Amino acid sequence: MRFHIKHVIVVFILISFILWASHVYIDNLQRNRQLERSQSIENKVNEWLDHREHKDHHFRFDKLGPDLKYKTDINDADNTDKLLSVPRLWQYCNPPVKAVTGDEGEVSPEYRLEMVHVLIRHGDRTPMHTMKGLPTVKINCNLDKLSLTNSKLQNFASKIKDSLQRHKESDFKNWDLYPDEEYCTGSQLTGTGIHQHILNGEHLGFKFFRKWELLSSNFSSDDILVKSTEYSRTFQSAIAFMYGFLPQFSLNKLIIKKSSNLYFCSKSSGFVCFCPQANLAKQMADNFNSKLSHNSSKHQNLIKQLADIYNTKPSHIPWLSAVADIIMANVCHEFKLPCNDAGQCADQNLLINIWKVIDNESLISKTKNHVFIKFSHLIMHPFLVQIAHQMKSVVLANKSVPKFVLYSGHDVTMTPLLVALGISDGLWPSYASRLVIEFYSRVVTQKKIHYFIRILYNGLDMTRQLPFCRTVINGLCKFIHFIHFIDTHLKPYNVTSYNRYCYSETN
């Protein structure tokens, strides 16, 4: 009897060992495949980057021709988990496979960096839209599991768990600092989104913290201000960014303010943050977009194709950007394109054609539609005034203001700001996009100091493209031109008082 029990125990141990070894083998196999896939995608992108006309250290997507933007070398229709090799899809997903680069802080040392304002779009997230018949992919949101194959996330998770205290002035005292569920829920930041903003923070931290010494190592909490809209994906993106930005991350040194307004309008600025006239302009712009889509044969053909694949009525298909929002989760996380219950799937040509139509309609509706341009100027005016006032405080030296301000927002925040500044390319901002406004001074004489600004979008210097910069000196725009722009950019709409205009009955 004892002999029999011993054998049972031995067999049980052997079976347990085999199951454990199998689990480890499968886990390592999946991990290696993921690494190989990421390396393959990176090599593909590097191939077309090496052959581009502009060989600067970060590619100029806007300089690529239409054929190259949407070019794919995938011949197998079933091989749709390789779609990140398509430049346009890579550009939108913005996968964090290498360090972020850019021209931020690339200014002559004869100038002094006084202040920096950074607006970011949140990182990669799960879809916020749904469509009948179109399945959404399950994405792992367990940071402990994700960190097993990602040293950046591993270090982040370790540091954050050691810093779970909240700053007493934070408006997000009871919010989770990172996503930590088995699977992400709708509109939730993913591990990829965290990684994207860690890299953004590291890049700008090197430029501003280490190179320019904008902040000393013993900076106070008053030197940095972080603002986030009241969504977990923007708050957690801000945490990830600041983790990468600061040499020694500490929540106790951060003041994190909640913005109930998507456009970072503050009531303390003296402006109304609900502007009916801006809302009216937005409604008119949305009506224009609806008519544009309805009258486009290419748009309607794509709607019909989607309805046929997912066995629904064309009237049940949402706008194409909503469809792209759902499908791009598959692309950004390297899953095959979604299929219907019968196994019929979207293919690469359908997705690429969807993006072509989205980009074309976006270019028209965002940069050529005068009512959306008006909306952009109206809605971003308080934000621009707020930045200008903080810069003026530096010039007048009459008020202590933060040296670094981070605004964590959305694509709907980034787009109107780009349009108002006159530097929009009309494209949907990618995940983890960043717009940086640098403020410099230069001593001319003992009693004379000149001030300048510089604006960059995703690392590209856009200063020379700013319509209001009449002269650019050493790549910098005179601060007085920026102030003149803010004082006058609403005049074409006959706005003399912002608050009165917002509540006026007629334009």
- Whether pLDDT at 49 is above 60: no
Structure tokens, 107? 């200014």
One-character DSSP codes across 119-144: EEE---B--S--BTTBPPPP-EE-HH
Residue 145 confidence (pLDDT)? 87
**Residue 41: pLDDT band with limits 50, 70, 90:** very low
Mean pLDDT of 210-236: 94
Residue 118 confidence (pLDDT)? 98
5-39 pLDDT, tens digit each:
666 666 667 776 666 666 555 555 544 554 454 44
Mean pLDDT of 132-155: 90
Q: Which secondary-structure segment (H or E) carries 361?
A: helix 348-367
Candidate ranges 20-24, 59-63, 195-199, 217-221; pick with highest mean pLDDT = 195-199
Mean pLDDT of 333-344: 90
- What does the alpha-carbon distance between residue 260 and residue 263 come to, in Å, rounded to a whole number? 9
| Residue 209 or residue 62, greater confidence | 209
Residue 449 confidence (pLDDT)? 95
Mean pLDDT of 444-450: 90
Candidate ranges 2-16, 72-86, 120-134; pick with highest mean pLDDT = 120-134
**Residue 52: pLDDT band with limits 50, 70, 90:** very low
- Whether pLDDT at 127 is above 70: yes
| Residue 35 or residue 366, greater confidence | 366
The set of residues, in sequence order, having a beta carbon less than 8 Å from that of 6 and lying 6+ positions away, is: none
- What does the alpha-carbon distance between residue 277 and residue 374 come to, in Å, rounded to a whole number? 10
Residue 7 confidence (pLDDT)? 66
91-115 pLDDT, tens digit each:
999 999 989 999 999 999 999 999 9
**Residue 58: pLDDT band with limits 50, 70, 90:** very low
Residue 407's DSSP bridge partners are: 119, 227
- What does the alpha-carbon distance between residue 99 and residue 42 come to, in Å, rounded to a whole number? 12
SS3 183: strand
Length in residues, the chain: 507
Q: What percent of the chain has pLDDT over 70?
A: 83
| Residue 65 or residue 366, greater confidence | 366
SS3 445: strand
Residue 113's DSSP bridge partners are: 440
Mean pLDDT of 200-210: 97
- Give the range among 161-165, 211-215, 333-337 with minimum mean pLDDT: 161-165
- What is the chain's mean pLDDT, rounded? 88
- Whether pLDDT at 391 is above 70: yes
**Residue 74: pLDDT band with limits 50, 70, 90:** low
Q: Which secondary-structure segment (H or E) carries 451?
A: strand 448-457
- Whether pLDDT at 76 is above 60: no
- Give the range among 62-66, 181-185, 238-242 with minimum mean pLDDT: 62-66
Residue 35 confidence (pLDDT)? 47
| Residue 446 or residue 181, greater confidence | 181
**Residue 298: pLDDT band with limits 50, 70, 90:** very high
User: Using an 8 Å Cβ cutoff, are 70 and 88 in contact?
Assistant: yes
Residue 64 confidence (pLDDT)? 65
Mean pLDDT of 69-90: 74
- Please write down the long-range contacts of 163-166, taking CB distance under 8 Å and 24 or more positions apart: 163/249, 163/250, 163/251, 165/251, 165/252, 166/251
Residue the block writes with tokens 């100091």: 449
